[in-house]
Amino acid sequence: MKPNPESLGYSLTSTSRVMNQKRTFGSILTILGIIGIILGALGFLGIGGLHLGKMNSIVPFVVGLIFFFAGINLVKTTSDRA
């Protein structure tokens, strides 16, 4: 016996709520990616008091790139249903 979706707190319009959550999570990932890219660039250049070596600054830069492109892709591929 399947549980009733409404008894679990879901309504019939829960797909729009999930879509908004995906867009919100994509926006958060994009912002975190931008922060990671900036930190990696500042660490590479030795600006801003970050004590990272040239090779160690690659890590936040690459993680920032991954977060940035994942967030952009999530926002772009999530369709709006009004």
pLDDT of 11 higher than 80: no
- Tell me how far apart the alpha carbons of residues 31 and 64 are, in angstroms, rounded to a whole number: 9
Of 10, 9, 63, which Cα lies nearest the Cα of 41? 63
- Tell me how far apart the alpha carbons of residues 63 and 40 are, in angstroms, rounded to a whole number: 9
At 33 the pLDDT is: 96
**pLDDT tens per residue across span 26-79:** 999 999 999 999 999 998 888 877 788 888 889 999 999 999 999 999 988 887
- Tell me how far apart the alpha carbons of residues 72 and 74 are, in angstroms, rounded to a whole number: 5
- Tell me how far apart the alpha carbons of residues 50 and 31 are, in angstroms, rounded to a whole number: 20
| Structure tokens belonging to residue 8 | 């679990």
Apex CA 79: angle with CA 75 and CA 80, to 5°? 105
